Structure 1
Amino acid sequence: MTEFYGLPNAQEFWHWANALHFVLVGLAGGMAFLAALLHLKASEDARRYTLFALGLIALDLFVLWAESPARFRFTHVWLFLSFHPGSPIGWGAWSLALAFASALLLYLGKGPRRFLAWVLLLLSLVVLAYPGMALAVNANRPLWNALLAGLFPVTALTLALGLATLLQSPWAPYPFRLVAGLSLFLAFLYPLTLSPEAQAHFLEEGGVLYGLLLLVGLGAFARGNLAPWAGFLAASGLRALWVLVGQWQGLGL
C-alpha cells in the first residue's frame, strides 16, 4: 500500500496479497455493517455476526500489514497510524482499527450498546466506501474511474449478505439478491464508462475473465445453495480484477 501511486510507466506494484486485502476489507466492512444493524434491532444474531466481523477485520489488518515490505520498520508503522484527512487509505485504516475496537466492546458487552452500535455502523460505512474511493481518486490510472466508488460498496454488501445467506439467516436472501443485481448492473456498465484506449486494454487483459465472472454472478438468482456461492465468487473475483488489471497507466504516461 505504501507504493499506492507508483511511478509513471512503473511495473505492477500490487499483487495477489493486495487483491486479497480488497476482498477481505469488503467482507469485513459488510459483516461489521450487518452486525451493527443487528445490534440496533436487538437481534439474537447480533453477537454471532459481531464475532465474524472481529475475525475478518483482524485477518484483513494482518494482510494489510504483512503485504508491506517495510512491515518491521517502526517508521512504516507510524506511517500506517498517521492520519491525513485527504487520504481514503488513511480513513480506511483507522476506521478498520476503530471498528474492531467498537465491535470488541459490543461482543464483550462493555459500554453503552446502542451508542457503540451506531459508532460501528458509521465506521463500517467508511470501510465499505474507502477501497473504491482510494482507486477512483487516482487520476494516473485510466481504469480506476469514479464508478468504482459505487461498485466497491455494493460488491462488499454482496459478499457479506452472501455469507449471511450461507449462514441461513432468514432475513438475508432477499437483500442479497437486490445488492447482487445492483452489483451486476453496475459491473456491466463499467467497461462502457472507460475511454476507448482504456476499454481496449481492459478487455484484452481481463475481458474473458470479466465476462465469466458476470455469468457466474447471474447464479445468485438461482434457487438452492449455489446462489450465495455464485454471488460470493463473482463479487470476490470482480474486486480482485479491478485492482490487478486497473494498475495500467495508459500509453501516454
Structure 2
Amino acid sequence: MDKEKVVTIEDRIPKLKTQRKQKTNRRMIIYLSLFFLLILVFVYFQSSFSDIKKITVSGNENISDQAIIKAAKISPHTSFLNLSDEDIRKGILKMGEISSVDVHKKFYNHLIIEVKEFHRVGYLKVNGKYYPVLESGKLLAGMKKGSLPVNAPIITDWKDRKLLKPMAKELGKLTQGITHRISEIHLDTESKDDNRIILYMTDGYEVRSSITHFARKMEAYPSIVQQLGPHQKGVINMDISTYFHEFGKEEAPKSETDR
C-alpha cells in the first residue's frame, strides 16, 4: 500500500490565511454596500429626487385640475413615498362636487388621480341668478352675471329647499334625451300636495306630475308625445294615471320666458 499523503499544519496555514482574508473582504463589501445604500436613501429623501414629478388628473369637467390638487393637499415638494392614497381621497371628496376618487402611483414619481363628478341636473333660479344643482342635491356657487344655463332645466319658484334634494336625485336618473326636453320645473303652489310639480317642455307641452318616482313616470313621455302628434298641444298629467288635456284657444303654457 502507498503511504497516505500527510499534510502538515505548516502547509495548511497559507490556505487558512487566504480563506480568512476572503471572508473579511466579503464582510467589508457587504458593510460598505449597506453604508452606501443608507447614504443613497438619505440623499433621496433629503433631495428633490423624492418629490412628485408629475400629477395627472382625469374625469373632471366642471372642476379644474388645480382645485382638485389643492383639495388633495399636494404641492410640488411633497415626497412621493410619503403620499397617502386614503388622505388624498378624503381631501378630494370633501369638495362635494366629486362622487368618487381613485388614486394610482406609477414610475417615476407619477401620481394619477381619477375622479367622477356629480352631474349637473338643473339650475335653481333665485333673484335672477342661476345656481347649478348637482344630482346629490348640492348647490354650487351662482353663475356669473350674464351666463345662461345649458343642457339642464331651470328650477324656479322653489321655496321649499327640502324638496330640492329628492328632485335632483330623480333628475339624475333621467336619460339626456328627456332631460334636454325639459325647459323649466316649478312647484305646483296651487296643489295641497307639496310634491306636485309642473314642467314646461321645449316642445310646447306642459307636464304635471309629482317628485315621487318622477324619473320612472317620465320614461313614457317620448311615446306619449309621439302618439299625440306635433300640432296637438296641452297638459300631460303623469301621476297615478296618465291623461292628456288639450289647450283651449285661450290657454297656453306659462313658462318663465313667457312672463
TM class by shorter chain equals: under 0.3
- TM-score in terms of structure 2 length: 0.23
- TM-score in terms of structure 1 length: 0.24
Q: Which has the higher contact order (CA 8 A, sep 6+)?
A: 1
Structure number, greater radius of gyration: 2
Larger relative helix fraction: 1
Larger relative strand fraction: 2
